[in-house]
């Protein structure tokens, strides 16, 4: 995928490179989150995904499907930024913490005083990072642990800030912006460590995931996603389920010559952790360049999912969702950990709605794919072979050099990009905010130059079949089908949260924050914010004992590049073709980052 900075230098480089180049509830016993999901007080929100199983479910029920219509604004806070606000607020005790897109300011707000500012921390990231970031200068949030707020800065530092005082506890340099590396992901907490990774697949970086000690910031391990086994941390513990993942140094042999050295495979999306199995799961992004003709082979270890020992980084298994990724489908989307009966047998599973258009249910112990069912129209593939694990591409839709291939679905942002889903302990449904986009493409020649765009593809995206560009869907995991769906005009680029009050929340790119009946999909309440919403909603109990819901409004990201980057809508190839699908977005929303907090009076 891409993360899009709207700076003129980036666009000029990209353009130059392109030119060169049945509603069925099953029993509560059949499907439950593991007990380890309750890793924090449900009154608080200490990590973007709510818990290490990434369910984004809250057991709070003061706000419910009967009274949510009475929600009113409790307070607002302007972040002073005009780029995409993809983050999730954190709530610890009587304080809310908000991280902005570049310049990555951390704000601490006093919840006993209607969100009054307690302090701010400015990491002073290098301005040069803006010119290297793809898909906006976003930040997806922070994590709280050991009395610290830990997050990543765009210029490749992981920082820890004392949650009480706002003083910097430690700062660790993780990457090099002159190589095209940036950092936008939210860290994942795994015992006494946090997992972080780099962005920059479109700049030809060599992607990696790494673990840092939460007390000191020391790098404990770093695992690359291309190259020899010793760099990838593949050893005797590596036991992948499928034969295609077995063999020595596949991170080299599945690439032409030395192209693995700038083969992408960054780690900027979501991760989950199972403390019982002591495994961390995280996705890997696209291989570079997009021009697939220049990199024959499976291009290990990109566009897939790692299971690793969080203490050593040693790989347990890997699964490649999209071998030889043809369409920037990546593998970075969330993995939700559940314990459920599968065909009469208890299984520890992970659920992953992938950008290639399939909801995967996998055994998280072994890496076996149990099912893979489409949740959006797909023309690029016909399905997943469960015996081999291989995605079955459609030959007629494979991109070609110098020849335009049309109506490929889904488009590069995928049937679903980074925007995280939520799973309800009550309804047993998965709630998926996603896209409905297709595209036309032509591969172009491109050469690698460090720190510059490395793409080699001309793209025009457009609305998918049906004309709507987005959808919010409820998914029955056991039966592999949609229960209901809400069509939206624009891609649903925000995350979602679901509660024990049978309410799900999400936002739209034209600025509506919505509450939906989690059982029926009926619209129960909506509020028009000042900008398009691409953030992640959270809910918590305030110091007064009342339940609140919070969301960051502020259009941008890859989907909102046309607005946040002030791009000329006449150039349909801009933002790697996303502008072509979003030409009307500037007519309905403007920039501006604002936190909105709601409660029932």
The Cβ of residue 393 has, within 10 Å, a number of other Cβ atoms equal to 17
Q: At residue 117, what are phi and psi to the nearest 5 degrees?
A: -70, 125
219 is a domain residue: yes
CB 533 within 8 A of CB 503: no
At residue 40, the pLDDT reads 56
pTM of the model: 0.94
At residue 134, the pLDDT reads 87
1 is a domain residue: no
At residue 30, the pLDDT reads 45
For 408, residues 6+ apart whose C-beta sits below 8 A from its C-beta are 327, 379, 380, 397, 399, 438, 439, 440, 441
154 is a domain residue: yes
At residue 385, the pLDDT reads 98
**DSSP 8-state class, residue 489:** S
Residue 448's closest CA among 231, 287, 298? 287
The Cβ of residue 573 has, within 10 Å, a number of other Cβ atoms equal to 18
CB 191 within 8 A of CB 170: no
Residue 286's closest CA among 313, 307, 267? 267
For 335, residues 6+ apart whose C-beta sits below 8 A from its C-beta are 54, 270, 271, 272, 281, 282, 283, 305, 350, 351, 352, 364
Residue 363's closest CA among 319, 323, 322? 319
What is the rounded CA–CA span in Å between residue 253 and residue 298?
Answer: 9
**Could you give the C-alpha distances from 399 to 411, 417, 456, in angstroms and in order?**
12, 21, 11
Dihedral sign, Cα of residue 200, residue 203, residue 209, residue 215: negative
At residue 34, the pLDDT reads 75
Angle among Cα 8, 182, 567 to the nearest 5 degrees reads 25
For 462, residues 6+ apart whose C-beta sits below 8 A from its C-beta are 411, 437, 438, 439, 440, 580, 581
Segment (H or E) for 72 = strand 72-78
Question: Which residues are 272's β-sheet partners?
Answer: 281
Identify the segments of the chain with pLDDT beneath 70: 1-31, 33, 35-40
CB 242 within 8 A of CB 388: yes
CB 523 within 8 A of CB 488: no
What is the rounded CA–CA span in Å between residue 62 and residue 434?
Answer: 28
Tell me the CB-side half-sphere exposure of residue 517, using CA atoms within 13 A. 12
Q: What is the dihedral of CA 355, 361, 363, 369, to 10 degrees?
A: -70
What is the rounded CA–CA span in Å between residue 469 and residue 82?
Answer: 24
3 is a domain residue: no
The Cβ of residue 447 has, within 10 Å, a number of other Cβ atoms equal to 13
At residue 12, the pLDDT reads 38
Q: Where are the beta strands (DSSP E) in 174-321?
A: 188-190, 193-197, 208-213, 219-224, 271-274, 279-283, 304-308, 315-320
Question: Which residues are 152's β-sheet partners?
Answer: 158
The tally of domains found in the chain comes to 1
What is the rounded CA–CA span in Å between residue 50 and residue 47?
Answer: 5
2 is a domain residue: no
Query: Which residues carry out catalysis?
Result: 202, 286, 328
The Cβ of residue 309 has, within 10 Å, a number of other Cβ atoms equal to 17
What is the rounded CA–CA span in Å between residue 54 and residue 188?
Answer: 10
Q: Concatenated DSSP letters for 399-422?
A: -BBTB-EEEESS-TT-SS-S---E
Count, residues in the chain:
601
What is the rounded CA–CA span in Å between residue 243 and residue 224?
Answer: 21
Question: Which residues are 45's β-sheet partners?
Answer: 91
Q: Kindly list the strands in the beta sheet with 594-599, ordered across the sheet, starting from the edge strand earlier in the chain.
A: 72-78, 594-599, 547-553, 538-541
Which pair of tokens denotes residue 334? 């969330």
Structural domain for 571, as ranges: 8-599
Q: What is the CATH number of the domain that holds 514?
A: 2.140.10.10
Which pairs count as long-range contacts for 219-223, CB under 8 Å and 24+ apart, including other chains? 219/172, 219/174, 220/193, 220/311, 220/313, 221/312, 221/313, 222/313, 223/306, 223/308, 223/313, 223/315
Which pair of tokens denotes residue 13? 């480089």
Q: In terms of DSSP bridges, do strands 523-528 and 72-78 run parallel, antiparallel, or are they unpaired?
A: unpaired
């Amino acid at each position: 995928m891409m993360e899009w900075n709207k700076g003129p230098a980036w666009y000029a480089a990209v353009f130059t490179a392109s030119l060169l180049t049945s509603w069925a509830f099953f029993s509560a016993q059949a499907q439950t989150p593991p007990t380890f999901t309750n890793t924090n007080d449900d009154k608080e929100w200490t990590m973007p995904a709510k818990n290490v199983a990434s369910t984004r479910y809250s057991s709070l029920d003061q706000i419910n499907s009967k009274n949510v219509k009475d929600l009113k604004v409790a307070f607002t806070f302007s972040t002073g930024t005009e780029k995409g606000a993809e983050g999730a607020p954190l709530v610890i005790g009587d304080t809310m913490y908000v991280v902005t897109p570049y310049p990555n300011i951390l704000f601490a707000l006093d919840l006993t005083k209607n969100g009054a500012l307690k302090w701010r921390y400015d990491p002073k990231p290098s301005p040069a990072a803006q010119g290297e970031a793809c898909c906006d200068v976003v930040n997806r949030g922070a994590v709280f642990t050991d009395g610290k707020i830990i997050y990543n800065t765009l210029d490749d530092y992981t920082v820890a800030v004392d949650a009480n005082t706002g003083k910097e506890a430690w700062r660790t340099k993780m990457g090099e912006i002159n190589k095209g590396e940036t950092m936008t992901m939210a860290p994942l907490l795994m015992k006494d460590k946090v997992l972080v990774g780099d962005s920059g697949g479109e700049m030809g970086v060599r992607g990696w995931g790494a673990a840092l000690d939460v007390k000191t910031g020391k790098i404990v391990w770093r695992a690359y996603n291309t190259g020899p086994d010793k760099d990838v941390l593949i050893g005797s513990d590596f036991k992948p389920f499928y034969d295609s993942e077995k063999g020595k140094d596949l991170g080299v042999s599945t690439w032409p010559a030395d192209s693995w050295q700038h083969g992408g495979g960054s780690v900027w999306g979501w991760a989950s952790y199972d403390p019982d199995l002591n495994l961390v799961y995280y996705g890997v992004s696209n291989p570079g360049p997009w021009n697939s003709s220049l990199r024959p082979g499976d291009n290990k270890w990109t566009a897939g999912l790692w299971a690793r020992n969080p203490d050593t980084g040693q790989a347990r298994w890997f699964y490649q969702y999209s071998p030889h990724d043809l369409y920037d489908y990546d593998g970075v989307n969330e993995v939700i950990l559940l314990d459920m009966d599968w065909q009469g047998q208890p299984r520890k599973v992970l659920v992953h709605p992938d950008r290639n258009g399939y909801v995967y249910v996998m055994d998280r112990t072994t890496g076996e794919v149990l099912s893979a069912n489409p949740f959006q129209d797909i023309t690029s593939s016909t399905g997943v072979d469960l015996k081999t694990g291989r995605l079955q591409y459609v030959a007629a839709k494979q991109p070609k050099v110098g020849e335009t291939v049309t109506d490929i679905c889904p488009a590069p942002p995928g049937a679903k990009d980074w925007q995280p889903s939520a799973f309800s302990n009550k309804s047993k449904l998965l709630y998926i905010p996603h896209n409905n986009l297709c595209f036309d493409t032509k591969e172009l020649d491109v050469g690698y130059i460090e720190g510059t765009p490395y793409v080699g593809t001309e793209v025009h995206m457009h609305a998918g079949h049906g004309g709507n560009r987005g959808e919010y869907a409820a998914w029955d995991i056991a039966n592999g089908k949609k229960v209901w769906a809400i069509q939206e005009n624009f891609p649903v680029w925000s995350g979602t949260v679901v509660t024990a009050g049978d309410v799900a929340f999400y936002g739209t790119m034209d600025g509506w924050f919505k509450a939906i009946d989690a059982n029926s999909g009926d619209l129960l309440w909506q509020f028009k914010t000042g900008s398009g919403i691409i953030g992640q909603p959270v809910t918590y109990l305030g110091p007064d004992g009342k339940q609140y819901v919070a969301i960051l409004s502020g259009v941008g990201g890859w989907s909102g590049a046309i607005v946040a980057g002030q791009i000329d809508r006449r150039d349909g190839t801009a933002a790697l073709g996303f502008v072509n699908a979003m030409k009307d977005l500037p007519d309905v929303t403007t920039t501006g980052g604002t936190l909105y907090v709601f409660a029932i009076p």
